[in-house]
Amino acid sequence: MLIPSENTFARAVELWREWNSRINVISRKDEDNIFAHHILHSLAIARYLEIYYPSCGCIPPSGVRPSGSPHHPFGTVPPLSNRGCYVPQGECTLPRDVESEEQHASACSAKGGSELAQIESARPQVSPAVAANALNDSDLAICLPPENGGEGCGETADNQAHNCHASFLDVGTGGGFPGIPLAMVMPEARFTLCDSIGKKVRVAQAVVDGLGLKNVECVNARVESLPGQWDWIVSRAVTSLENFYPWVKGRFRNSILYLKGGDIETEIAALQKKYHVPSENIRTWDINSWLNDEYFAEKFVIEVGKNYLCTP
């Protein structure tokens, strides 16, 4: 996973704020939380792929371990914390180098002002050892099951390194979530962002253009009308799983990755009963285990696999 610079994140927030003032795709009450509540929430899918489909990351061991800080969004994720990145407001402890703990980034805090100002003024602070070993680029390779043309989770790192052109369909993308943040950190993957509401697609396209993303296509259509298949279907709580599943059934080669909160067990039970999806094809992951924050309590990534789920 490639982590964009703080300036890129700042530009993304700026674009969403600017367009949201014209076409409302994010609650006006939540405009100061675009990074935490929308970008980070979207990136939970990327973190999920790193955990359960290790070949998705193509990132060698970084020698960096998490700080354990509940306030640092990347501090609990080794593949993310080995780079300098935007640190949001609030106290945070940055990562330490495993092999040499002589250098330890100091805690930082940012107070006052809007989120955009916080981003623009923030500067990454990492130890020299971490900075020296930071990876500038990283590809995303998908661990596909054997029946879908892949070698399964047993692929070697050498085989994984060039399998980096997975396709994603973001259904009901709205202003571009989760598709755009995922495209930012997965530059080798291809993303189709779909929404039936034209003005929302206009916002997503404007953000894509403003960020210069070349791996994203925005489409104003209902998902049922789109031809073809994708490796992964992603979405953020556009409807219940029971309603969502028939829209995309038969359209994915690997899995659905769905961001959802609340009473997910009831939704999963309804999905299983109506469409006979076996329990072994469904997995839930608590986002709060990565982003330890009250906002992410009871928010999950739900994977509904075609017929195969990798294990870490």
Which amino acid appears at position 275 of this protein? Answer: Y
Residue 144 resides in a domain: no
Q: What is the pLDDT of residue 53?
A: 87
Task: Identify the CATH number of the domain in which residue 299 sits.
Answer: 3.40.50.150
**Chain centroid to CA 77: how far?**
13
- Are the C-beta atoms of residues 276 and 54 closer than 8 Å to each other? no
Looking at the fold, whether 161 and 222 belong to one and the same domain comes out as yes
- pLDDT, mean over the chain: 72
Residue 150 resides in a domain: no
pLDDT of 299 higher than 60: yes
**Chain centroid to CA 300: how far?**
12
Looking at the fold, whether 163 and 298 belong to one and the same domain comes out as yes
- Are the C-beta atoms of residues 125 and 94 closer than 8 Å to each other? yes
Looking at the fold, whether 34 and 87 belong to one and the same domain comes out as yes
Looking at the fold, whether 67 and 167 belong to one and the same domain comes out as no
Looking at the fold, whether 82 and 181 belong to one and the same domain comes out as no
Tell which of 79, 101, 133 closes a domain: 133
Looking at the fold, whether 183 and 291 belong to one and the same domain comes out as yes
Q: What is the pLDDT of residue 132?
A: 25
Q: What is the pLDDT of residue 193?
A: 98
Residue 141 resides in a domain: no
**Measuring CA to CA, which residue among 308, 312, 275 is closest to residue 148?**
308
pLDDT of 309 higher than 80: no
**The model's pTM:** 0.70
Tell which of 100, 133, 166 closes a domain: 133
**Measuring CA to CA, which residue among 36, 55, 33 is closest to residue 44?**
36
pLDDT of 233 higher than 70: yes
Residue 311 resides in a domain: no
Looking at the fold, whether 188 and 295 belong to one and the same domain comes out as yes
Number of separate domains in the chain: 2
Q: Which residue has the tokens 């070349």?
A: 214
Q: Which residues have C-beta within 8 Å of that of residue 56, sequence separation ≥ 6? A: 49, 50, 140, 141, 142, 143, 166
- Of 59-73, 278-292, 295-309, give the lowest mean pLDDT range: 59-73
Q: Which residue has the tokens 């989770």?
A: 153
Residue 115 resides in a domain: yes
User: How confident is the model over 109-166, as pLDDT tens digits?
Assistant: 333 344 444 443 333 322 222 222 222 333 333 333 333 334 444 333 333 333 458 9
DSSP, collapsed to helix, strand or coil, labels residue 259 as strand
Q: Any long-range contacts for 252-255 (C-beta under 8 Å, 24+ apart)?
A: 252/169, 252/306, 253/144, 253/148, 253/229, 253/306, 254/142, 254/144, 254/145, 254/148, 254/305, 254/306, 254/308, 255/303, 255/304, 255/305, 255/306, 255/309
Looking at the fold, whether 258 and 124 belong to one and the same domain comes out as no
Q: Give the pLDDT band of residue 234 (cuts 50, 70, 90).
A: very high
Q: What percent of the chain has pLDDT over 90?
A: 57
Q: What is the pLDDT of residue 191?
A: 98
For range 13-42, the mean pLDDT: 93
pLDDT of 281 higher than 60: yes
User: What range does the domain containing 224 cover?
Assistant: 155-305
Looking at the fold, whether 58 and 89 belong to one and the same domain comes out as yes
